[in-house]
Amino acid sequence: MVDVYVDTLLKEIKHTAMLMKDKGLIAESIYIGGGTPTSLNEQQLSRLLRGIEDCIDMTYLKEYTLEAGRPDTITVDKLKVIKNSRVSRISINPQTMNEKTLARIGRLHKPEDVGMAFYAARDMGFDNINMDLICGLPGEDVQMFNETLRKIKELNPDSLTVHTMAIKRASQLTKEMEKYNLEAQYVDSAVMVDMARTCAKEMGLSPYYLYRQKNILGNLENVGYSRPGMECLYNIQIMEERQTILACGAGAVTKVIFPMNRLERSFNVKSVEEYIGRINEMLERKANILMEGNNKY
């Protein structure tokens, strides 16, 4: 269903671009993620990026991020497709550099795949690369996390997002949590968060945004670090909730900011099948909320 999904997504993107034009809206940033866009093959990815650039006026665009995400989905050909687009920032996400942990959490890549993907991107000229790590993964101790930090430091990314583990309701880990000592995990995770902060500082990265999410271990936080001038603007805007965000795709949530800081949301269905079948309903819903009153963007 991937080709049909991309067709439907491009239909929504084109519709959204028309709404932006009607309202006189200017795109400040574009962010493709909250999933793994590089799960698409080269032709599908090229079609998506070309469709975005054909529809959206990028005259005043300040950043354009694509989550390359899982290293096992990254190929040289896909990197070429991305490089030939207007994308200015990518994310390559190891989560951990421990092979046993990767297998435990259902990741298909190996630590060496991370380095291969990263250096391939660097060789191709990508000069703004983010990496994601997770503190408190099941079975990981402080020594293992320290080894992950050592390897990330060698790669030297331009930004680093450090998450604390949050158990998603539908994840396999939810069914297995009784195997792990959550209290011990919390203690280790707090130490890991501090270790990551020190490592980021040694790499010349400074914190620029912080947030917490549901079911996060020990009510700890997720923190983004970056080199000066390489902060992800979209990350800041989505957390501050002071700017309209027009979202496209299955499970996407549009946020429209009105005067007096009133915020209204428009939700797309999460199921791919339903998204394809009900796309016109969601286009209408987005148009209705966006056209309501004199919005502040």
The pLDDT of residue 180: 53
pLDDT digits (tens, 9 = 90+) for 4-33: 999 999 999 999 999 999 999 999 999 999
DSSP 245: B
Cα 38-42-46 angle, rounded to 5 deg: 90
State what percent of residues in the chain have pLDDT above 90: 68
Give the residue-averaged pLDDT of 155-161. 96
pLDDT digits (tens, 9 = 90+) for 175-201: 555 555 555 566 788 899 999 999 999
- CATH class, domain 26-243, is alpha beta
pLDDT at residue 269 above 80?
yes
Where are the CATH 3.30.750.200 domain residues in the chain? 26-243
**What pTM was estimated for this model as a whole?**
0.88
The pLDDT of residue 220: 67
Cα-Cα-Cα-Cα torsion 54, 250, 74, 53, nearest 10 degrees, comes to 10
pLDDT at residue 163 above 90?
no
73-96: burial string, b at 16+ Cβ within 10 Å, e else: bbeeebbebbeebebbbbbbbbbb
The pLDDT of residue 282: 96
Pick the closest to residue 104 from 137, 145, 142, 150 (CA basis): 137
Span of 34-38, 77-81, 210-214 with lowest mean pLDDT: 210-214
pLDDT digits (tens, 9 = 90+) for 206-252: 999 887 666 555 556 789 999 999 999 999 998 888 899 999 999 99
List residues bridging with 257 in a β-sheet.
263
The pLDDT of residue 297: 43
Which residues does 200 contact at the CB level (< 8 Å), separation at least 6? 160, 162, 206, 207, 225
- Stated as kind and residue range, the H or E segment containing 69 is strand 63-69
pLDDT at residue 171 above 90?
no
Is 224 within 8 Å of 208 (Cβ atoms)? yes
DSSP 162: E
